[in-house]
Chains A and B, each alone.
Chain A
Amino acid sequence: MIESNYVSELTFASIDSEASLKAAMKKGSESVIKEVTESKLKGCGGAGFPTGLKLSLMAKEIQQPKYIICNADEGEPGTFKDREILTSYPELVFNGMTVSALAIKASHGILYLRAEYTYMKQHLENVLIKLREANRLGKNILGKHGFDFDIIIRSGAGAYVCGEETALIESLEGKRGEPRNRPPFPIQYGFKGKPTQVNNVETLAWISTIMVKGANWFNSVGTEKSAGYKIFSISGDCKRPGVYEFPMGTSVAEVIKEAGGEGAKAAQVGGASGQTVPASDFSRKIAFEDAPPGGSIMIFGPERNMADVAENFLEFFVEESCGQCAPCREGNIKLLEGIRMLKKGEYSEEHLKELMSLCETMKVASKCGLGQTSSNAFLAITKHFSNEIMTRGGKR
């Protein structure tokens, strides 16, 4: 099965989830939202929406029932931090949902587990049973009258696009996992048309943590626009691939050094849909305002061919596009054909220009994040590694 992997020291290891729930209950709804808002925590799934704002918008919704969904459909290539958090700290994740439920007065929780992680489903169910036995889920939680909240686990079935929150909700409703038009956002019109808060696994664990350690502890590190700590999945050409915790604003160079990836020629920050950072830019900071974190860093050593990387990512997007909108469905295929032609040296400047312009169209016209970001790596690699890609006897 899964062998032990490298995990740096994580704050989560020191957090008692029961103490976290008790602290939240002592604070009460409004103070919980205030604390999370002051911490400046942003969504850890990649989009970086302020978590406190999401909670306060949810609290204002009057419709019932309200749903809290934990998005454990971690599918971004190179990302596995949520696997580690769910394996080692599932109580913090579930507790983060319960704390949110207290804050926004929700009664139903759903953890949407990607099909690839089915092996850990029983482990998670066991944790839920334990939490129910301890009255930390169920009716009148910890004796507080009217505080009712429970969580069920639902499995995905192998679709990257269901990590997009509206596609996830569609699939929960028994439909094809195709993203919805937004607005309306899930907060107004989510699961079964009811107010729904969707949070990443890590975000929920941080909510639990902030209840214990406080907003000031969290926002005392990081940059102005990206506060606190972040968990990273590091893979690729390095000595110690694994799960790491760093303060926001850490440079790409520092991260690579920690993982033992010295001499790398590039790093992919934020998964296949993220940013390709060449060695000359390793001083860039991992933060929402610079290289947005998402959660994954792939390290590419000096021997790697970046055209192969771009091709692999595009194969992924062709496979995973839901096919609903044309810019994404057709665009990714054209980009994949393009990179294959570049690799063979069969291209013209004119064709390359057309592909660049197609990337722009995809960014603007695609319906969801998949098509809006799938051309990032193609653009970056053709820009930063043009010498590598275009010196193969192209017909200019």
Chain B
Amino acid sequence: MIEIENTTDLKKEISGLVNKFGSDHDALMPILGELQNKYSGISDEAMQILADLLHMHPIEIQGVVTFFKFYNTNNKGKFIIRMCETMPCKMKQADIVAGKLKDELGIDFGETTSDKMFSLEWTSCIGMCDQGPAFLINDKPYTRVKPEEVSGILSECRGGK
């Protein structure tokens, strides 16, 4: 569960998004995308509010949220690192960069740091196969990553908070 201090604010936020994207069901994905970006996750509460506004059953929305890998219901870190695990990146020593990420963050894949800054995940091919090993940090791709660059990339994120 994501803790949101003020439900009224969340309601306001979501109805703003419904105004922007409309209340047809095809507005669901864009709205979920915005919520995911803003809150690093989509709470039960947000799904309920959205369901009311789009006249859908909350279960339908939960079905969509849990289907897609770039949406999540649990609270993830501010920066989600998605390391490509598909063959071309693996062939370029993705595992070494992955090990470095684990060491630097002190967490395993599938986990989030205790300060809620970073989540670390494996992901399927991100389309950077000609310049692996590659990972995404939120929307931003990092390519031809060398193990010695990992620490700098992470401090860049920390500095930019």
Beta-carbon contact of A2 and B70 below 8 Å: no
Beta-carbon contact of B86 and A119 below 8 Å: no
Asked if A154 CB lies within 8 Å of chain B CBs, one says yes
Identify A158's interface contact among B64, B70, B87, CB under 8 A.
B70
Identify B128's interface contact among A80, A155, A174, A243, CB under 8 A.
A80
Measured in the bound complex, the distance between the Cα atoms of B141 and A136 in whole Å is 31
Can you report 21 A-B residue pairs in the complex whose CB atoms are below 8 A from each other?
A: A1-B141, A2-B141, A77-B88, A79-B125, A79-B129, A80-B130, A116-B136, A118-B139, A119-B141, A155-B29, A155-B33, A157-B33, A171-B64, A176-B64, A235-B132, A241-B131, A268-B87, A296-B129, A298-B129, A309-B87, A316-B124
Beta-carbon contact of B27 and A174 below 8 Å: yes
Beta-carbon contact of A160 and B141 below 8 Å: no
Measured in the bound complex, the distance between the Cα atoms of B142 and A234 in whole Å is 19
Asked if B127 CB lies within 8 Å of chain A CBs, one says yes
Measured in the bound complex, the distance between the Cα atoms of B70 and A118 in whole Å is 11
Beta-carbon contact of B127 and A80 below 8 Å: yes
Identify A79's interface contact among B24, B25, B36, B127, CB under 8 A.
B127
Asked if B30 CB lies within 8 Å of chain A CBs, one says yes
Asked if B126 CB lies within 8 Å of chain A CBs, one says yes
Asked if B38 CB lies within 8 Å of chain A CBs, one says no
B73 to chain A, nearest CB (A): 13
Asked if A350 CB lies within 8 Å of chain B CBs, one says no
Identify B125's interface contact among A172, A191, A316, CB under 8 A.
A316
Q: Kindly identify, within residues 28 to 55 of chain B, every residue whose CB is under 8 Å from any CB belonging to chain A.
A: 28-30, 32-33, 36, 54
Measured in the bound complex, the distance between the Cα atoms of B91 and A6 in whole Å is 18
Contact string against B for A residues 191-213, beta-carbon threshold 8 Å, 1 for contact and 0 otherwise: 11000000000000000000000
Asked if B123 CB lies within 8 Å of chain A CBs, one says yes
A336 to chain B, nearest CB (A): 14
Asked if A289 CB lies within 8 Å of chain B CBs, one says no
A303 to chain B, nearest CB (A): 10
Measured in the bound complex, the distance between the Cα atoms of B56 and A42 in whole Å is 39
Residue of B nearest to A323 (CB): B67
Q: Kindly identify, within residues 315 to 336 of chain A, every residue whose CB is under 8 Å from any CB belonging to chain B.
A: 315-316, 319-320, 322
Measured in the bound complex, the distance between the Cα atoms of B68 and A175 in whole Å is 10
A residues less than 8 Å from B70 (CB atoms): 115, 156-158
Beta-carbon contact of A155 and B130 below 8 Å: no
Measured in the bound complex, the distance between the Cα atoms of B127 and A303 in whole Å is 24
Residue of A nearest to B136 (CB): A116
B109 to chain A, nearest CB (A): 13
Contact string against B for A residues 173-184, beta-carbon threshold 8 Å, 1 for contact and 0 otherwise: 111111000000
Asked if B11 CB lies within 8 Å of chain A CBs, one says no
Beta-carbon contact of A237 and B144 below 8 Å: no
Beta-carbon contact of A234 and B124 below 8 Å: no
Beta-carbon contact of B26 and A159 below 8 Å: no
Asked if B75 CB lies within 8 Å of chain A CBs, one says no
Residue of B nearest to A83 (CB): B127
Asked if A3 CB lies within 8 Å of chain B CBs, one says yes
Contact string against B for A residues 117-132, beta-carbon threshold 8 Å, 1 for contact and 0 otherwise: 1110000000000000
Measured in the bound complex, the distance between the Cα atoms of B130 and A82 in whole Å is 13
Asked if A78 CB lies within 8 Å of chain B CBs, one says yes
Measured in the bound complex, the distance between the Cα atoms of B132 and A296 in whole Å is 15
B residues less than 8 Å from A158 (CB atoms): 68-71, 123-124
Measured in the bound complex, the distance between the Cα atoms of B88 and A358 in whole Å is 27
Measured in the bound complex, the distance between the Cα atoms of B66 and A178 in whole Å is 13
With A75-B125, A237-B91 already in contact, the answer to whether A173 and B25 are too (CB < 8 A) is yes
A266 to chain B, nearest CB (A): 12
Beta-carbon contact of B87 and A298 below 8 Å: yes
Measured in the bound complex, the distance between the Cα atoms of B15 and A47 in whole Å is 41
Beta-carbon contact of A78 and B139 below 8 Å: no
Beta-carbon contact of B140 and A80 below 8 Å: no
A282 to chain B, nearest CB (A): 19
With A157-B29, A172-B26 already in contact, the answer to whether A74 and B67 are too (CB < 8 A) is no
Beta-carbon contact of A233 and B124 below 8 Å: no
With A115-B70, A154-B29, A312-B90 already in contact, the answer to whether A5 and B131 are too (CB < 8 A) is yes
Residue of B nearest to A79 (CB): B127
Contact string against B for A residues 54-86, beta-carbon threshold 8 Å, 1 for contact and 0 otherwise: 000000000000000000001111111011000
Asked if B143 CB lies within 8 Å of chain A CBs, one says yes
